Structure 1
Amino acid sequence: MASATDQLNRPLGVLRLSLTARCNLACPYCLPDGVEPPGLLTLAQRLAVIEAAVTLGAHSLRLTGGEPLLHGGLEELIAAVQALRARAPGSPGLREIALTSNGTLLSPERARALRGAGLDRITLSLDGTTGAAVARMAGVGNGDALLAKVLAAIEHARAAGFDPGRGALKLNAVIQRGANDDQLLPLAALARERGLELRLIEFMDVGNRNGWRPEAVLSAAAMVERIRARWPLEPLGRSAHGTASRWRYSDREPDGGGVLAVVASVSAPFCGDCNRLRVTADGIAYTCLFAAPGSGLDLRPWLQPDSPADAVSRVIAGLWSRRSDRWSEERQEAWAHGTPPAPAGAPAHAEMAYLGG
């Protein structure tokens, strides 16, 4: 089947597959409710979805949650997906299998198991460098213990072969004005010290429980300026279909001091070349992170044992061909004209923990 493109000629390139809506933290910008949706996909169904997406041009698989380390079949899934690898540079197939985790459950044994199963890259989340900041942003107590676990997880991942110099180990941080923006420089210092790429993410209006308001957004440009005032930065740009604009510390060797990246989903949206398909743990496909609840397509009717082999490929191709989402750009255009980004009474967004972030 030919590669899929949408109404704006955007190709399907990345499948973000959620494995669970459960999480062991309660980060206020996400606020999972701890409830697993009914009818979770089986291993065979997940593999069918991944194979269908690859058939349609997806080259990257990103495993998410909730917290994906809570999923007991994680390593089995990663190992099974190896059969879909691209056989040569530029050929169809998966070129990358990545995982996003809060890191608190990543033991040395689990890190080695993930690497051994064939995971290419792991991104860990850390929103502060002090116990107080970590507890505040994780929504749970004992921030000192959580901080220690994540810092240890970085080293467990590195020891297992996830090399930050090759982009196989990165650090995510969601920055919210008035909540943890005082952690910008300490987080940058920590990432520089450990040679990690630090990805700073704007506080986004995903879901209905996180109390989002525009005033709480610290723009990516403001984050860069704060850090540039402390260390010299050289722009590396944003790759095609990428989410982050990247910067190099010019006082360090290219491979010696980490990289700064910023994800400006609110202030400088990149809908124009977004190539991501999201599938929830219970098999609902969404074509936008800012989608309304109930707007996704349930893939399970095409994932039954008696379904034709190409059924799910065809239904995903149809969904993608109808796609015209550009919510963040439309919101920005509405703000520029002094109007709300959506009419009063419009459906709210689906929850981040359900969509997989």
Structure 2
Amino acid sequence: MDTNKNILQDTFGRNHTYLRISLTELCNLRCTYCMPAEGIQLSPKSHIMSYDEVYEIAKTFVDNGVTKIRLTGGEPLVRRDIDVILKKLASLPVELSMTSNAVIIDRFIEILKSCNIKNINVSLDSLNAEKFKTITRRNDFDKVYGNIMLLIKEGFNVKLNAVLIKGFNDNEIIDFIGLTKELPISVRFIEFMPFDGNKWDKAKMVSYAKIMEIVHSNFNEKQVIRIQDAPNDTSKNYTIKDYKGSFAIISSVTNPFCDSCNRIRLTANGRLKNCLFSSSESDLLTPLREGKSIEPLIQKAIQTKFKVRGGMDTLEKLEKPDLHNQNRSMITIGG
């Protein structure tokens, strides 16, 4: 292996400058598409990265070219040492952001500001309190919605992530877009994706094409404006004329964005996943604890990344449970 090369560049020429770090497998919600109904087998506490280990691994990535880090979970804010982690990572020359379910985020407004975290993605799959309770198995809609309004008031850039499931919340697409009329937010519709234990079925998926069909049945052609996507963007972005916010579609299943992918994921137990759909992982935590360099392992993991969706390059392959069930449940990967 040529160690003089950029260790974050894969065999397809993609440079991986965006690291998503899961801080915990724990969560205060139980979303059906994320966590199996029976729960999960948690990693032993001793197998979870400490705040120093999170920092050391993150620093290695930043030293090699990572410019953006997003903290995920589970719910990252349930970690007792989250304030220490935020302060340590904020010392790195990197854009720091977070994905949260916003249940308790009101307690962390000041620390988020002090660490220069401006971009917050919030998972919200329904604007209906009963549906919210059904999908999260918790009764926290009012708290979450109130905290979304608080984040906007406090000046954060807020994106709402909604996983669409046919027959459940696909009738709320226009309601979600309606939020963007007066609120400077981005609502992002995410195609239902297969992970271990979430009972994925293609028939439950609401495709990019279907979403746009619904949009165009409610707004005329001149009202729906295509926005220029950012480099390496996972979403196709739109706004409605004269609306303050925008909406987007993340079509990981029907229109994957793999050609421009710059993302890699670090699980809470210190394993590197070179793709969200990949069933293989590289243990970075054990060699780090043994005092070994993790750079060769990072390079090897990047070099073995498939061109498309962890090797599942067709919908037919995605529909085979023996392929996607080898992956983790979403909660142990990191949102």
Q: Do the structures match in fold with TM over 0.5?
A: yes
Q: Distance in 1 between matches of 2:5 and 2:118?
A: 26
Matches within 5 A, 1:1-357: 3=6, 4-31=8-35, 33=39, 35-38=41-44, 39-85=47-93, 94=94, 96-107=95-106, 109-140=107-138, 142=139, 146-162=140-156, 168-205=157-194, 207-231=195-219, 232-252=223-243, 257-292=244-279, 295-304=280-289, 307-308=291-292, 311-327=293-309, 330-332=312-314, 335=315, 339-341=316-318, 345-346=322-323, 348-357=326-335
Q: Is the 8 A contact 1:40 1:281 kept in 2?
A: yes
Letter of the 2:149 partner, please give it: E
CA distance in 2, matches of 1:115, 1:214: 40
TM-score, normalised on structure 2? 0.89
Partner amino acid for 1:290? F
Determine if contact 2:198/2:329 at 8 Å carries over to the other structure: no
C-alpha distance 349-236 of structure 1, shift in aligned 2 (>3 A): same
In structure 2, relative to structure 1, the CA distance for the partners of 1:106 and 1:271 (3 Å cut) is: same
Structure 1: 5+ residue runs without aligned partners? Answer: 86-93, 163-167
Find the aligned partners of 1:191 and 1:327 in 2 and give their Cα distance: 31
Aligned residue type for 1:128: S
Instruction: Give the conservation status (yes or no) of the 8 Å contact 2:275–2:305.
Output: no
Cα deviations by residue, 1:195-228 (Å, 9 ceiling, x for unpaired): 21111111111x2211111111111222123123
Distance 2:217 2:311 in 1: 29
TM-superposed CA distance for 1:34, in Å, is: 5.5
Shift of 1:325: 4.7
Extract unaligned runs of 5+ from structure 2. Answer: none
CA distance in 1, matches of 2:263, 2:127: 31
Q: How far off is 1:15 after superposition? A: 0.5
Any conservation in 1 of the 2:272–2:281 contact (CA below 8 Å)? Answer: yes
Distance (whole Å) between structure 1 residues aligned to residue 319 and residue 241 of structure 2: 42
Amino acid at match of 1:10: R
Counterparts in 2 of 1:72 and 1:161: CA distance versus 1, 3 Å: farther
- The alignment covers a number of residue pairs equal to 323
**Cα deviation per residue 1:120-161 (whole Å; 9 max; x = unaligned)?**
311111111111221122133x3xxx2211121112223433
Q: Distance between the aligned counterparts of 2:312 and 2:31, measured in 1?
A: 27
Counterpart residue number, 1:90: none
The separation in 2 between residues aligned to 1:234 and 1:2, in whole angstroms, is 41
RMSD value over aligned CA atoms?
2.1
Q: Give the TM-score of the pair, scaled to structure 1.
A: 0.84
| Inter-partner Cα distance in structure 2 for 1:75 and 1:224 | 41
1:211-269 Cα shifts (integer Å, max 9, x gaps):
111111111222123123323211114333211110121233xxxx1011110001101
For 2:103, the aligned partner's letter is: T
1:35, distance to aligned residue in structure 2 (A): 4.7
User: Between the two proteins, what is the percent identity of the paired residues?
Assistant: 27
| C-alpha contact (below 8 Å) 1:115/1:160 kept by paired residues | no
Taking structure 1 as reference, are residues 57 and 349 closer, same or farther at Cα in structure 2, changes over 3 Å only? same
